[in-house]
């Protein structure tokens, strides 16, 4: 069932991306419907996994990617419907399609369970708020990058209004994620912070987001856009790249674990 629903969702997102590039309200409505259908496929897959596994599907690398794709589309689709804008459509579809394809290309990621130290009541709220933060910041950075490209490096200030709001939402949830993680660490190991590689990069991501939020109105749109893109890049670096570094091999923040043979 997992490959089927992931494949259907990916096909819907491809159709939506194609429709968004065509003029006319009819194509735009078709694209919106395709996005909604793709979101329904992902939500259905989460529900099916939840019922089958008897737990929230948040323990494996594949499951966290599935939630990320779902949250990205849900946030983008909700904003598109509420605000009547398609500014987030391409970044949203790009990220969702990427994670659907990763799930299809690496089905083993759904079988890799988290290390025992991470199986805690704090895990679900910590991961959920971080995934919401990552989704909001990815949409903000993606929309800012699109504005830079369309403006040939000089985006209009109005094009950054919505990405700026999304970045603020992402910062709030990222702050909650850091706080939940610190409380969890205190409960598990007796200290709030240990400067683990993942913790250090999460803190750097938070600092970049704070800098982006404190840029004044006199700051050029180009600088603001580049800062939002940098925040997105920091988040993805913290999530994916740091885990593959030699220094992170002993980290308790790795997302997957396999028992010793």
Q: CA-CA distances (angstroms) from residue 43 to 9, 17, 47, 71, 142?
A: 10, 20, 6, 10, 23
The pLDDT tens digits of the residues spanning 31-88 come to 889 999 999 999 999 999 989 888 888 777 788 889 989 999 998 888 888 877 777 8
pTM above 0.85, yes or no: no
Comparison of pLDDT for 107 and 9, the residue scoring more: 9
Instruction: Catalogue the E-assigned strands of the chain.
Output: none
pLDDT at 172 over 80: yes
pLDDT at 249 over 80: no
> Residue ranges of the domains in the chain?
1-113, 114-244
* pLDDT band, very low/low/confident/very high, at 254 (cuts 50, 70, 90): low
Residues 72, 39, 167, CA angle at the centre, nearest 5°? 15
Q: What average pLDDT is seen over the chain?
A: 83
Comparison of pLDDT for 41 and 261, the residue scoring more: 41
Check the CA dihedral 104-105-111-115 and report its sign: negative
The pLDDT tens digits of the residues spanning 182-240 come to 888 887 777 888 887 878 888 888 998 888 888 766 788 898 899 999 999 988 888 77
CA distance 151 to 144: 10
* pLDDT band, very low/low/confident/very high, at 112 (cuts 50, 70, 90): low
């Amino acid at each position: 069932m997992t490959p089927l629903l992931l494949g259907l969702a990916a096909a819907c997102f491809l159709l939506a991306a194609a429709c968004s590039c065509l003029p006319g309200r009819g194509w735009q409505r078709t694209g919106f419907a395709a996005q909604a259908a793709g979101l329904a496929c992902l939500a259905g897959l989460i529900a099916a996994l939840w019922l089958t596994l008897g737990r929230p599907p948040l323990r494996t690398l594949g499951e966290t990617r599935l939630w990320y794709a779902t949250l990205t589309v849900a946030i983008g689709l909700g904003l598109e419907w509420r605000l009547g804008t398609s500014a987030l459509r391409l970044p949203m579809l790009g990220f969702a399609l990427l994670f659907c394809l990763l799930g299809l290309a690496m089905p083993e990621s759904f079988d890799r369970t988290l290390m025992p130290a991470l199986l805690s009541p704090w895990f679900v709220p910590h991961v959920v708020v971080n995934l919401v933060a990552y989704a909001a910041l990815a949409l903000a950075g993606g929309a800012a990058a699109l504005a830079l490209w369309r403006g040939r490096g000089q985006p209009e200030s109005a094009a950054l209004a919505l990405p700026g709001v999304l970045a603020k939402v992402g910062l709030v949830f990222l702050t909650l994620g850091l706080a939940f993680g610190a409380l969890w660490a205190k409960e598990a190991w007796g200290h709030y912070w240990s400067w683990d590689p993942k913790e250090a990069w999460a803190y750097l991501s938070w600092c970049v987001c704070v800098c982006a939020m404190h840029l004044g109105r006199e700051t050029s749109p180009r600088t603001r856009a580049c800062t939002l893109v940098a925040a997105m890049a920091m988040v993805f670096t913290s999530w994916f790249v740091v885990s593959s570094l030699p220094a992170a091999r002993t980290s308790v923040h790795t997302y997957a674990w396999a028992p010793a043979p």
